[in-house]
């Protein structure tokens, strides 16, 4: 194994004393990585990372150091069902020439993965922590984020976080007996009591499955409130623009808004699922549900009720209608295209204001 820096090689200083190794296993064994800890004659320490595929290639093809004759069959180092059946010539090559001629180079070809002036003798790889090295400091981040999936068993399972499992105490760091489904993310592994709890009940999520920026739920409306069931109630007059928004908690799920048996696709803006209503009409009032569907799991993320405001006590707070009232003229009567363009201009203006509000 070669573990050195280009500058150090010029100075003839190598990290040539292997102290310890750690193998980070992968699903395909050739993709596994070997973390090797070396020290130098000057008591410095370096860590180099090697590919298991490269190690296997060297042992399969490299000549043996100091051995110039024909390599016997089976090749020394080859795995066989019974080592007692190996020919004596093969055993002698292994005994007298255990080193390979070719070097095994690290994945980083020009510098070790880590160099220190301290003398280390053991190495361990903790998959539950992410170590980020900066010029000023080293930060250690916890890889498990179980608290982010603590809404229900289904949320915990759908996250497919290998460090988290659903327990009686909620989504917790992996414990024996915890409920997981890492490969498929199927929520049918959850107990029926948990499934009943997460059925399509309108409730506000207390956490997010993905990082997202906080967005305003709705623009200021003439009258809005929230009832005991967690349903947002908005009282709106006719002809005002309005939009509904719910958070996108999982980028693996499909989101839509449902209203009076009709499903409306989302207009996605950053981490929000929007449904735009350019001008409130009678058919637009009623209950709206933002529904998230992921694999075998359906959840109501948010429920909104739009009611018609008949008598507005404070007209100043009403949003300006998309199409301002103006006297009819000859151009409006005879040129329908001009009227359509005016309406579209108002719609685009309202959307521009909406985008600015959400940024």
Phi-psi region of 170 (alpha: psi -120 to 50; beta: other; left: phi over 0): left
For residues 177 and 232, state if they share a domain: no
Tokens of 87: 């020919």
Reply yes or no on whether the pLDDT at 261 is more than 70.
Answer: yes
Task: Report if residue 78 sits inside a domain.
Answer: yes
* DSSP code per residue over 260-283: TTEEEE-EEETTEEEEEESS--GG
- Residue 207 domain-assigned? no
Judge if 32 and 155 occupy the same domain. no
Task: Flag whether pLDDT at 355 surpasses 60.
Answer: no
What value does the mean pLDDT take over residues 15-44?
89
- 131 and 31, same structural domain? yes
Rounded distance between C-alpha atoms, residue 7 and residue 216, angstroms: 55
Give dist(CA 192, CA 181) in Å, integer. Answer: 16
| Same-domain check for residues 329 and 289 | yes
Q: Which of 40-44, 159-163, 164-168 has the lowest mean pLDDT?
A: 40-44
Task: Name the percent of the chain lying above pLDDT 70.
Answer: 73
- Residue 134 falls inside a structural domain: yes
Q: Which CATH number is 157's domain given?
A: 3.30.1680.10
How many folded domains does the chain comprise?
3
- Measured distance CA(208)–CA(192) in Å, rounded: 23
What's the pTM value of the predicted model, to 2 decimals? 0.45
The answer to whether 232 touches 276, Cβ cutoff 8 Å, is no
Dump pLDDT digits (tens) for 90-107.
888 888 988 888 888 888
Return the SS3 of 9: helix
Question: 92 and 127: one domain?
Answer: yes
* 203: in domain: no
| Ramachandran region, residue 177 (left: φ > 0; alpha: ψ -120 to 50; beta: rest) | left
Is residue 230 domain-shared with residue 291, that is, in the same domain?
A: yes
Place of tokens 């980020």: 132
Which residue range(s) make up the domain with 23? 6-140
Contact between residue 334 and residue 316 where contact means Cβ atoms under 8 Å apart: no
Question: Is 213 within a domain?
Answer: no
Tell me whether residue 301 is in a domain: yes
136 and 153 in one domain? no
Cβ atoms 209, 145 nearer than 8 A:
no
Q: 161 and 148 in contact (C-beta within 8 Å)? A: no
pLDDT confidence tier of residue 144, bands split at 50, 70 and 90? confident
242: CATH: 2.60.40.10
Distances, alpha carbon 96 to alpha carbons 2, 22, 55, 91, 349, in Å: 22, 27, 21, 9, 83
């Amino acid at each position: 194994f070669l573990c050195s820096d280009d500058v150090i090689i010029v100075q003839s200083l190598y990290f040539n004393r292997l102290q310890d190794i750690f193998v980070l296993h992968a699903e395909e064994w050739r993709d596994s990585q070997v973390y090797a800890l070396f020290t130098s004659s000057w008591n410095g320490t370096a860590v180099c990372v090697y590919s298991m595929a490269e190690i296997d290639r060297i042992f399969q093809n490299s000549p043996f150091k100091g051995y110039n004759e024909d390599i016997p069959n089976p090749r020394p180092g080859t795995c066989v069902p019974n080592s007692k059946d190996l020919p004596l010539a093969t055993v002698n090559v292994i005994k007298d020439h255990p080193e390979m001629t070719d070097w095994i180079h690290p994945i980083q070809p020009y510098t070790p993965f880590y160099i220190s002036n301290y003398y280390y003798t053991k190495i361990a790889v903790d998959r539950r922590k992410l170590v980020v090295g900066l010029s000023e400091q080293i930060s250690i981040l916890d890889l498990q984020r179980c608290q982010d999936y603590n809404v229900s068993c289904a949320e915990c399972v759908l996250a497919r976080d290998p460090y988290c499992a659903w327990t009686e105490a909620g989504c917790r760091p992996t414990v024996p007996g915890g409920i997981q489904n890492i490969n498929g993310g199927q929520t049918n592994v959850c107990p029926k009591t948990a499934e009943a709890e997460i059925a399509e009940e309108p409730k506000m999520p207390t956490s997010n499955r993905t990082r997202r920026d906080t967005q305003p739920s709705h623009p200021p409306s003439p009258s809005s409130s929230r009832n005991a069931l967690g349903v947002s109630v908005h009282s709106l007059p006719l002809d005002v623009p309005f939009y509904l928004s719910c958070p996108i908690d999982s980028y693996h799920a499909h989101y839509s808004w449902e209203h009076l048996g009709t499903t409306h696709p989302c207009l996605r803006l950053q981490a929000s699922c929007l449904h735009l209503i350019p001008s409130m009409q009678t058919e637009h009032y009623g209950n709206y549900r933002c529904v998230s569907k992921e694999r075998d799991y359906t959840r109501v993320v948010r429920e909104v009720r739009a009611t018609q405001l008949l008598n507005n006590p404070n007209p100043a707070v009403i949003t300006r209608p998309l199409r301002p009232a103006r006297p009819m003229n000859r151009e409006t009567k005879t040129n329908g295209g001009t009227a359509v363009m005016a309406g579209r201009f108002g719609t685009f203006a309202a959307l521009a204001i909406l985008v600015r509000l959400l940024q």
